[in-house]
Structures are given as structure tokens and as C-alpha cells.
Structure 1
Amino acid sequence: MKSIKEKSYWRNFYFLDKYFVSQVKNNRKKFLKIFRKTVFYNKESTLLDVGTTPSLDEHENYLIRKFPYKKSITCLSNFDCKILTTKFPQLKCVVGDGCAMSIKNNLFDIVHSNATIEHVGSYKNQVNFIRECVRVSKKYTFITTPNRFFPMDFHSKIPLINLLPKNIFRKILKLFGDNFFSKEENLNLLSKNEIKMMLNELQIKNFKIIENRFLGLVSNFLLVVIK
């Protein structure tokens, strides 16, 4: 009999993985619609994608796939994302830290980041992440992140435990053998109030937080900052 502490405990439920991937795809279709309604761009617009995933899977990097002007996209990630150029040869890929970018102020018309801020670590790192994204953006910053208080965290795939205080949430993840996401440096989910606190700390005034819903509940936040 397998121990509950084995990391594979929940990963054995393959049908759940398929379901979660399908929901991720649906969410990202919604994100794309919101992006197109919120952000004005044309063939001259430059786009920085922060936190690009080095994967050609269909549900990854939704904006890179759908943004019509591939030569205008720069991908920044702490991973080498050159694999993406095998499918999208016009992309520019650089390795860097989203919390401390070696990029000039206001260099890109649009800065986009999908489901990355919850993986940069501490609250301080998350503040720095928003600061940097806004700093290098000339006009639009578009950041998505899961809602900490949605009943199911799609990382752990264990219902309701993410509603608990963060230290208890992490202890339970560790109990279930998920040593990776049990560490703050790898997963630090955010609430709407926490995002607002960060924006207030950064003295960012011109923003909106759009709520993406699933089954009537807020599953994700889409932060849009306009300069």
C-alpha cells in the first residue's frame, strides 16, 4: 500500500490531470479575450512575456501562440525557452529574473505575465515582480494569477486546503509528499486584498483587477496597469 507521503499520491488520478488541463485551456481562452478587449496593440507594438514556459504544449504560453506579431515578442524566463523558436522562429528569448530585470525603463509597449507571480517566492519578491513589470512597460502591464481563495488550487489539486492559513496549507502539502509546492519560494498564492496592498505599496493608482470566474466563483485575477 502506498504511503500518503509519496509525491505520486494525487498524481495517480490521471482523469483529474486531464480535467485540470481542460480547465486551464478554457481559462486562458477567456484571458485572451480580456487581453484583446483591454490592451490596444498593432504591428508596431512590442511585447515582453515574463515567465514564459519552455514548453510547446498547447495549453502553455497562450498569448505567444495567439499574438499576431511574433517578431515583436520577447520572452523572458529563468529557464532557457529557445525550444519555442522551433515553432515560432521570430521570437526573441532571453534568460532573466522577473524580479530584477536588466531592461531599460519603458522599453516595451506591453508587458504580459501569465501565472508567474505566484511562483516568485515571498511577498517582497512579488512586490518587486510587479514593480519591474510596470517599470519596463511603456503603456500596459497585464498580469494573471490564481485566486488564493478559489476552492481548488490547481497546483496541489487538493480541494479547500488553500483556504487555510498559508503555513498550514504548506504543512499539508508536505504531508502529501509535495515538497516542491510546499515551499514559499515555489508557490505563494495571492488574494485580491494582497494584490491591492502591493499596488498601494508601489503607489500604483491607474489599475483594474478583473475577476475571471469558474462555476460562478472567482478563479483568477487579471491585473491591468495602464500608464
Structure 2
Amino acid sequence: MYKNKDTIYAINHYNFFDKIVLKKRLEISNIINDLVKDIQINDALDIGTTSDDRNASSNIVIKNIKNIEKFKCISDQIVTSNFFFKTLKKSITEEFSENELYEFSSDLVISNATIEHVGGVLNQKKMIENIIKLTKKIFVITTPNRFYPIELHTKIPLIHWFPKSIYRQILKFFGLSFYANEENLNLLSINDLKNMLNNQKIVYEIKFIKLFFFKSNIIIIGKK
């Protein structure tokens, strides 16, 4: 049975963007591998792990980190992958018990493309606070740059540069109510992240991934 033209376009469109995502996430992994190559890292924790393993880019950042034996994850989804020897189903914006902190604190904590999906600013600040608590040595937080010309979730250019209230109304007009909801997508700029991190009194640096010559992804590297 032949697929209709619209289905073929959708598959090819999806594969095209997934290939780009895969390439950029491997670049992030390479940055992390270079960062920790001279540091003793016994365990790594992934924040916001997806249960979806259908795409080549799914969880690839943590899976591509080298020379680490123990990998853990915290996610609001049920993760059954054998890659992680310890998993916790919990939102990163919730309070963590002393036992949870003890069990899941790790030398390296990675959160790739999650902070833009946890809700408003208060939730994003709480996520950063919890990541710092869970970090023994280094944490890495990545997120799409709000001021990249193309919004990487909807693939629509420029409209996300409007004030957020206007941007969300436009998304609703296009039938994209899921992304119009702040609980599902709250894009961050470099200054937004700096404001959140400066209040934490943590040593950090900022790196970037570029796509078509523009800074598409922000990488925050924090050290204890």
C-alpha cells in the first residue's frame, strides 16, 4: 500500500528536523565530554528523561557521555530503559526528600531541553535550585534560545519575539494551543537565565550551539 502524498511529506519533514536535533544534541554531548575529560565522574543524572525511544535524538545527550558507569534519571514520565540503573518518577519542580537527594545526587547532572517545559518563572527557578542540590561537581542545563529566529518546537519563525501574551494568542490562532500554554512551553533568553542563576550564587559559564550561524541553544555549565 502506498502512503499518500501528505503522509510522505509529514514523515520526511519530521525526519529532517529530527536529524538536525540529533546533530545538535551530539554537539552538546561533545561539549560535556570535553568538559569532564579530566575530572573524576562516578555517576551522572539525567533530568527530564523522555520515555520515548523511537527517535534517534531521544535521551542522546546523556547516552553519549563517555567513561561513566552509573547513570540515573529523574522524570515526570515512567522510564523503563535499561540504560539507567536507578530512576525516579518525579517532577524536578517538586520538593525532594533527604533520601531522594541522597539517592540521586550525582557528580554530573544534565538537563537537556527541559527547563522550557516546566511552567512559569517560579517553577524554572525551583528546577535550577533542585539541580544545584542534586549536583556534587558539575551541572549542565540546555535550552533553546528564545531569540533564535525560528521557534524550534513549532518551526514558526519570528512570532516568539513578540511579548509572550501576544505570541501565545498567535499560537492559539494557528491551532497550537498546547504550545500556547505556559505550563507546556516557556521560552528563555540568555538574560532570563542569568537573572535566575545570579540569585543562586553559583559559579557558571555560558556556551552556545549554533544553527545556520545564529545561537540556537544556550548551554549553562555550573560548578561546585
TM range, smaller chain: 0.7 to 0.9
Residue in structure 1 matching 2:36, options 26, 35, 39: 39
1:163 corresponds to 2:161: yes
Task: Give, as a single letter, the amino acid of the residue that structure 2 aligns with 1:217.
Answer: F
1:98 corresponds to 2:92: yes
CA offset at residue 159 of structure 1? Answer: 1.1
Over residues 149-190 of structure 1, what are the superposed CA-to-partner deviations in whole Å (9 max), with x where a residue is unaligned?
Answer: 101111111111111111111111111111111100000000
In structure 1, list runs of 5 or more residues that go unmatched: 1-11
Give the alignment's Cα RMSD to 1 decimal: 2.1
Give TM-score scaled by structure 1 length. Answer: 0.86
CA offset at residue 203 of structure 1? Answer: 2.2
Aligned to 1:149: 147
For residues 15 and 160 of structure 2, what CA distance do their matches in structure 1 show?
21
Q: Secondary structure at the match of 1:131?
A: helix
The 3 A distance-change label for structure 1 pair 43 and 63 is: farther
Residue in structure 1 matching 2:13, options 16, 21, 25: 16
For residues 219 and 212 of structure 2, what CA distance do their matches in structure 1 show?
17
For residues 194 and 31 of structure 1, what CA distance do their matches in structure 2 show?
21
For residues 116 and 198 of structure 1, what CA distance do their matches in structure 2 show?
15
Which structure has more RCO (C-alpha within 8 Å, separation ≥ 6)?
1
Aligned to 1:7: none
For residues 87 and 68 of structure 2, what CA distance do their matches in structure 1 show?
12
For residues 164 and 206 of structure 2, what CA distance do their matches in structure 1 show?
23
Over residues 198-221 of structure 1, what are the superposed CA-to-partner deviations in whole Å (9 max), with x where a residue is unaligned?
Answer: 0112222x1001011111100000
Identity of aligned residues (%): 36
1:28 corresponds to 2:25: yes
Over residues 123-145 of structure 1, what are the superposed CA-to-partner deviations in whole Å (9 max), with x where a residue is unaligned?
Answer: 11101111110111011011110
The 3 A distance-change label for structure 1 pair 97 and 171 is: same
The 3 A distance-change label for structure 1 pair 34 and 222 is: same
1:49 corresponds to 2:46: yes
Residue in structure 2 matching 1:215, options 187, 191, 212: 212
In structure 2, list runs of 5 or more residues that go unmatched: 1-8
The 3 A distance-change label for structure 1 pair 43 and 209 is: closer
Task: Give, as a single letter, the amino acid of the residue that structure 2 aligns with 1:38.
Answer: L
Task: Give, as a single letter, the amino acid of the residue that structure 2 aligns with 1:93.
Answer: T
Task: Give, as a single letter, the amino acid of the residue that structure 2 aligns with 1:50.
Answer: I
Aligned to 1:112: 110
Residue in structure 2 matching 1:60, options 58, 61, 69: 58
Task: Give, as a single letter, the amino acid of the residue that structure 2 aligns with 1:54.
Answer: S
Is contact 2:146–2:189 with CA below 8 Å preserved after alignment?
yes
For residues 42 and 34 of structure 1, what CA distance do their matches in structure 2 show?
14
Is contact 1:113–1:143 with CA below 8 Å preserved after alignment?
yes
CA offset at residue 92 of structure 1? Answer: 1.9
Give TM-score scaled by structure 2 length. Answer: 0.87
Is contact 1:44–1:72 with CA below 8 Å preserved after alignment?
no
Over residues 97-118 of structure 1, what are the superposed CA-to-partner deviations in whole Å (9 max), with x where a residue is unaligned?
Answer: 1112343269311111100000
CA offset at residue 91 of structure 1? Answer: 2.8
Q: Secondary structure at the match of 2:183?
A: coil
CA offset at residue 39 of structure 1? Answer: 2.4
More helix by share: 2
Aligned to 2:5: none
For residues 114 and 150 of structure 1, what CA distance do their matches in structure 2 show?
17
